[in-house]
């Protein structure tokens, strides 16, 4: 494990009121003392931990900036190492100049995520908490923020550790019984283990059940607006955004490419794509747009299929309907402010075999029906409820995969019990489950995976 001294700019690389340069490592305080002169003439090496000092940073005899220095001695710091943070004026040039001076006086430039990586390697946080740090930085909505903060505080770690403790008890019992059969009996144990596995599997299932909702709430629901030309798809996008983002005309085929926007609807995030009208065309450019629309359709979590309620359905509508089977679809009868020709009953008749379609009359032009659409999305994906408080959501695909592998190992144990296999077979699969869950916390993971995770971090974190 590296213990050399690292430094980086920890604030945004843009002109601001305050800039932060972070130094951490064995010689962090010594490095800071070489460039910092406090107003009280004291050196940082003699100062107590968690103190603030006012003075200036010098490059040799040249004064660079007046600063405030925060001193934190390990292990009572983010990295559990001696740490110094220099708060300077937030000009980009000033921050770079101070960082260069720090590096010339004993530090090296930190790698992306290296401060958090050291916090993980030094045992301050586990890997799931480390990953939540970056999730918190990148959060784009209230759910993502609260969920990341919940995970950073150890919610996922605690749930996983509880399951692992149950597994470890059973592993230890089996091994002890096999080593000392005279004093520890395994009579009737398979049934007891079967009951215990059922409880542990329920706990894993509980975490897995929230993983899909967690992904949708964290990343947003991938939503595509489809329909034939001139049914009001772009008007719907503008209504959802509450601004004139897409060009709207009476000319069919105005939208020839995809438009992508992110919309917040009271806790629900939609990554929404407005597509070209799906229809047969000889226009080369328009045909490319139609193919892009079909590609977006295949990848979407939610499809908003827009129909012109003031016109009869045609073959293009039927073609789109056929491609929407087994998907979450909300059929929107737009232009309901005009004389209605196509009704919800007409559409239900054409889609009677599908159980996943929802129907709603709207007027994108008048922006009516938007609140009803929001409630329909909420009901479709979250059963009407979005709880941002105490529930533990799995939002990381790596965590989800580890939980699924652990669940599979427990199924193997149950199969061994059913087949009447010897008890040492149980402990092998129990240990596999234990180790898979340990990967969430960062135990027994390859260095390449750890490096890949922290490589995605910003440099100063």
The pLDDT confidence band at residue 424, using thresholds 50, 70 and 90, is confident
Q: What percent of the chain has pLDDT over 90?
A: 41
Whether the pLDDT of residue 207 is over 60: the answer is yes
Least confident of 107-121, 322-336, 407-421: 322-336
| 75 or 180, higher pLDDT | 75
187, two tokens: 């009579």
pLDDT bucket at 256, cuts 50 / 70 / 90: very low
Structure tokens at 21: 């340069």
pLDDT at 249: 41
User: Has residue 416 got a pLDDT over 70?
Assistant: yes
CA distance 161 to 165: 6
What DSSP string runs through 132-195?
HHHHHHH--SHHHHHHHHHHHTTHHHHHHHHHHHHHHHHHHHHHHHHH-TTTS--TTHHHHHHH
In this model, does residue 151 exceed pLDDT 60? yes
**E strand segments, 250-344:** 259-265, 268-274, 302-308, 328-334
Q: Lowest-pLDDT range, 74-83, 211-220, 232-241?
A: 211-220
Is the pLDDT score of 381 beyond 50? yes
**Mean pLDDT value of segment 408-412:** 95
Compute the radius of gyration of the chain from its Cα atoms: 29
Phi and psi angles of residue 205, each rounded to the nearest 5 degrees, phi first: -60, -40
The CA-based diameter of the chain, rounded to the nearest angstrom, is: 88
Residues 1, 14: Cα–Cα separation, whole Å: 32
Q: Residues 6 or more apart from 113 whose CB is under 8 A from it? A: 134, 453, 454, 455, 456, 457, 458, 459, 461
- Whether residue 213 is predicted with pLDDT greater than 60 in this model: the reply is yes
The least confident of 73-87, 182-196, 256-270, 275-289 is 275-289
Tell me the pLDDT of the chain averaged across its residues.
Answer: 84
Q: Of 385, 403, 446, 383, which is closest to residue 156 (Cα–Cα)?
A: 403
> What pLDDT was estimated at residue 290?
61
pLDDT digits (tens, 9 = 90+) for 257-310: 457 777 877 667 888 887 665 545 555 455 555 666 666 677 778 888 888 888
Q: What is the pLDDT of residue 79?
A: 95
Residues composing the chain: 461
Q: Is the pLDDT of residue 243 over 50?
A: yes
Percent of all residues in the chain with a pLDDT value above 70, rounded to a whole number: 86
Range in 226-230, 280-284, 434-438 with the lowest mean pLDDT: 280-284
Digit-coded pLDDT (tens) for 315-354: 877 877 777 766 788 888 988 888 888 888 888 877 765 5
Cα 136 to chain centroid distance, Å, stands at 8
- Out of 28-32, 58-62, 389-393, least confident range: 389-393
Q: What is the pLDDT of residue 246?
A: 44
**pLDDT exceeds cutoff 80 at 366:** yes
Over 50: is that where the pLDDT of 111 sits?
yes
Going by pLDDT thresholds of 50, 70 and 90, the confidence category of residue 148 is confident
Per-residue DSSP letter, 112: T
Residue 401 has pLDDT above 70, yes or no: yes
Report CA-CA distances (Å) from 410 to 35, 159, 206: 58, 17, 15
Higher pLDDT, 25 or 319: 25
- For the chain, list the domains and their CATH numbers: 6-126 (3.30.1360.120), 131-215+396-441 (1.20.120.430), 220-382 (3.40.50.300)
Q: Quick one: average pLDDT of 12-40?
A: 94
Please state which of the ranges 15-29, 247-261, 354-368 shows the lowest mean pLDDT: 247-261
Q: Is the pLDDT of residue 212 over 80?
A: no
């Amino acid at each position: 494990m590296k213990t050399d001294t690292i430094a980086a700019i920890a604030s945004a690389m843009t002109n601001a009121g305050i800039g932060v340069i972070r130094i951490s490592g064995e010689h962090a305080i010594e490095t800071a003392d070489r460039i910092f002169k406090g107003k009280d003439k004291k050196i940082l090496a003699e100062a107590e931990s968690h103190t603030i000092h006012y003075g200036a940073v010098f490059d040799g005899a040249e004064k660079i900036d007046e600063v405030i220095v925060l001193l934190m001695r390990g292990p009572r710091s983010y990295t559990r190492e001696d740490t110094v943070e220099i708060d300077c004026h937030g000009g980009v040039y000033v921050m770079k100049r101070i960082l260069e001076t720090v590096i010339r006086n004993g530090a090296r430039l930190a790698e992306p995520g290296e401060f958090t990586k050291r916090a993980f390697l030094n045992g301050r946080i586990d890997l799931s908490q480390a990953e939540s740090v970056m999730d918190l930085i990148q959060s784009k909505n209230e759910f993502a923020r609260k969920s990341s903060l919940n995970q950073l505080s150890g919610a996922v770690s605690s749930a996983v550790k509880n399951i692992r403790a149950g597994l470890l008890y059973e592993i230890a019992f089996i091994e002890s019984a096999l080593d000392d059969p005279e004093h520890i009996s395994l009579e009737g144990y398979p049934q007891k283990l079967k009951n215990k596995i059922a409880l542990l599997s329920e706990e894993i299932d509980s975490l897995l059940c929230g993983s899909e909702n967690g992904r949708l709430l964290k990343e947003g629901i991938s939503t595509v607006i489809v329909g034939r030309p001139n049914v009001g798809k772009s008007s719907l996008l503008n209504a959802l955004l509450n601004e004139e983002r897409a060009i709207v005309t009476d000319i069919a085929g105005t939208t020839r490419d995809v438009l992508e926007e992110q919309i917040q609807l009271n806790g629900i995030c939609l990554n929404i794509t407005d597509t070209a009208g799906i229809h047969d065309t000889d226009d080369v450019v328009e045909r490319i747009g139609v193919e892009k629309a079909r590609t977006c359709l295949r990848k979407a979590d939610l499809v908003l299929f827009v129909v012109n309620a003031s016109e009869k359905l045609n073959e293009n509508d039927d073609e789109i309907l056929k491609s929407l089977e087994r998907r979450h679809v909300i059929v929107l009868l737009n232009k309901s402010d005009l004389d209605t020709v196509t009704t919800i009953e007409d559409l239900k008749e054409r889609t009677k075999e599908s159980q996943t379609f929802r129907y709603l009359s709207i007027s994108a032009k008048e922006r009516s029906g938007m609140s009803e659409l929001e409630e329909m999305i909420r009901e479709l994906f979250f059963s009407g409820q979005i709880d941002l408080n105490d529930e533990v959501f799995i939002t990381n695909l790596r965590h989800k995969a580890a939980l699924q592998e652990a669940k599979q190992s427990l199924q193997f144990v149950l199969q061994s019990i059913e087949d009447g296999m010897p008890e040492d077979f149980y402990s092998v699969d129990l240990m596999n489950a234990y180790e898979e869950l340990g990967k969430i916390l960062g135990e027994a993971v390859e260095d390449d995976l750890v490096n890949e995770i922290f490589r995605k971090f910003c440099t100063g974190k």
